[in-house]
Structure 1
């Protein structure tokens, strides 16, 4: 019997019901597709999901669980402003950094723009390292002087922390006896990205010559960094993981996180490390001052060198044993509780966040990277429920935060 003859045998009402259901089905599918397309346009992060990490205690990024105590703003000591009694009109001539000033337990910061001071957020970064990192902070400026009159936050930092030291860095001398020797002559010809290139190359040259923990000046340190050795951090395009209350070890399985690149804003290498050597060598061989390209140094180069040096098809959180020094790629959340694509919405949330919420976000991170090259103009609200700096500042950089108007 043909379909037509079958259809004739069906009552008219049944035929209409079947046709109407087909029509409703098509309309529903079309509506769902349209809504999906609109959601992807207006909410591009809606489809981002967390990685399927398996948590295992042997890969804990911090062996001391007591180091992960919650941050409680109610326990913040009240510190009275001291700037009025300090001599903040001084301009201090800085000693040139040399090998005798280097030490094993050091964190170093670089200010390569040539300015003679740190602004409020930069002072906060250094102060947080002084408070929490368990390392001695070395602040290296391209400027030969430190002008305390430019920033009250800097003045507070200078006078109140004995484990913070300021030095002048001569770039040519820093590059000398490294694979980047003489490279400064080409970098100085670059107008658009010269400062950025000096910073990216200089930090690797310093690590190669002296060793230590490098930190960008837009990082707030949350916890001790003394246990981080020969390590660099992955930067993933996906959101950093959200860890439930039951996952108390803050650890993930080795090789479980893929990333497109390495973030060179925070790392530790011992002096003479092969990775630092190869990065400097690669940059010196390929650097072209005629290219208006920021990526001639930094994450792109570090990622490329890591793949070539260690014969990697892709970047993952692994520890590689090597005669030139062990090399560990830490998962992104170690220093980036909010991935780059979500910094604005996570660190400056639209809805209020309270201490429990902030602690849940930061619980498995050693520091928070704010990426000021993009988000430096986003204001500090001074409301601890509306931005991360206002929550963390009074606890981790209290003297700098006294002058939050400079942030």
Structure 2
């Protein structure tokens, strides 16, 4: 009986254990599943992604051969082409070190410039071409100038440029022309101007021709004048709209370049149309004038390009043209003119092969632009009258020319007894003409 009770007790115990395992089995399976998932996740975290060989990037467009099969020519892209962003295969990195936002691998693929820039560039190019527009007369520039020099037997060659209308050539400019022939009766004067190479221009210049003076107005052929110089490359870029002309007048900057190229091609004397010549330049050769000097060192502090006297293909002219082409800035007044010649001369001074002379301010710029108005004023009293008399004689004795600085003095009339009034009397050819607008 005792043994029966013991067996019954063991059976109940086994039954309880079996029931417990059955009840706990789902929970165990869930726990086992969680362990498996954790193991898989841990494996994926510490897994290193092996790279797959990426497809080779295409060869840049600017390295393509000039000629492709089928005789199709591919133009090489200029270095100024803009670039777009293209995403390639990401680099190999540990996933445990992934940043919040992965940076793509960037490659530079040449594409066209943004469409948003095209209208602006198109307007810019139209404005440039409008400024550069010349008639068919320009094609004859070379032959006209060459024939003019050969047939005129001139003792000196003068050049001027005029970028405004023929009607706007006023008394000051005509006085500048008079002053050239007053001191150089056998000179040849070439006025490079689109507007003056016209019927109206012929009317304006006829009084000089009637007097037998040798002058000609010629429409500029920029391509010919700039050919085989650094200006040629710059000018071609300008015509294509690849040069920003800036805020300063494009005509003014073209005049700065044109005077350099004309002297480089032909040699001679360039003067601005607000330069009044006082005496012969015949004893001057390869000369540029200082506008100002350092009072302590007595060395020049700034040069000017309103008067240039140089031999044909002079190396300094070459450097001037090169500097213009490489450093052009259309937003800074004077950068491509007076400041340009100052920069270059400062660099080449003392170097062998550059033979030229820098004349003091008294040669061409006896009065600074800030005081030029004093030359237009008549005597206020006896002391002022004496000062004007002495200053006038000083200028006549020391100066080859005087710069009127039209930008500063353009609105000032010539008063009776002023220094300019006396100078006009000294150099005028048409002395009975009215100069009231000066």
TM-score, normalised relative to structure 1 = 0.62
CA distance in 2, matches of 1:371, 1:140: 21
Partners of 1:236 and 1:332 within 8 A in 2: yes
Structure (1 or 2) with the greater helix fraction: 2
User: Structure 1 261/363 Cα, relative in aligned 2: closer, same or farther at 3 Å?
Assistant: same
Q: CA deviation at 1:298?
A: 0.7
**Aligned ranges for residues 240-389 of structure 1 at < 5 Å?**
257-288=298-329, 291-310=330-349, 322-324=352-354, 326-348=355-377, 351=380, 353=385, 356-357=389-390, 358-381=392-415, 383=416, 385-386=417-418, 388-389=419-420
Give the structure 2 partner of residue 123 of structure 1.
174
Partners of 1:117 and 1:147 within 8 A in 2: no
Q: CA deviation at 1:160?
A: 2.0
User: Structure 1 141/149 Cα, relative in aligned 2: closer, same or farther at 3 Å?
Assistant: closer
1:4-23 CA-partner distances (Å, limit 9, x unpaired): xxxxxxxxxxxxxxxxxxxx
CA distance in 1, matches of 2:201, 2:268: 30
Q: CA deviation at 1:361?
A: 3.5
Q: CA deviation at 1:167?
A: 2.2
Q: CA deviation at 1:173?
A: 2.2
**Aligned ranges for residues 2-401 of structure 1 at < 5 Å?**
96-97=141-142, 98-102=145-149, 105-113=156-164, 115=166, 118-133=169-184, 135-143=187-195, 145-148=197-200, 154-185=205-236, 190=245, 192-236=248-292, 257-288=298-329, 291-310=330-349, 322-324=352-354, 326-348=355-377, 351=380, 353=385, 356-357=389-390, 358-381=392-415, 383=416, 385-386=417-418, 388-399=419-430
User: Structure 1 117/329 Cα, relative in aligned 2: closer, same or farther at 3 Å?
Assistant: same
Where relative contact order (Cα < 8 A, 6+ residues apart) is larger, the structure is: 1
Q: CA deviation at 1:187?
A: 5.5
User: Structure 1 100/145 Cα, relative in aligned 2: closer, same or farther at 3 Å?
Assistant: closer
Q: CA deviation at 1:199?
A: 1.0
> Which segments of 5 or more consecutive residues in structure 1 lack a partner in the other structure?
1-92, 240-254, 312-319
1:60-93 CA-partner distances (Å, limit 9, x unpaired): xxxxxxxxxxxxxxxxxxxxxxxxxxxxxxxxx8
For this pair of structures, how many residues does the alignment match?
Answer: 284
> Which segments of 5 or more consecutive residues in structure 2 lack a partner in the other structure?
1-136
Alignment RMSD (CA, Å): 3.1
1:244-294 CA-partner distances (Å, limit 9, x unpaired): xxxxxxxxxxx9732221111112110110110011011111224xx4222
CA distance in 1, matches of 2:170, 2:357: 32
- Local SS of the residue matching 2:398: coil
Partners of 1:257 and 1:331 within 8 A in 2: no
CA distance in 2, matches of 1:178, 1:100: 23
**More displaced, 230-239 or 326-335?**
230-239
- Local SS of the residue matching 2:217: strand
- Local SS of the residue matching 2:190: strand
User: Structure 1 238/296 Cα, relative in aligned 2: closer, same or farther at 3 Å?
Assistant: closer
CA distance in 2, matches of 1:182, 1:380: 44
Partners of 2:364 and 2:403 within 8 A in 1: yes
TM-score, normalised relative to structure 2 = 0.58
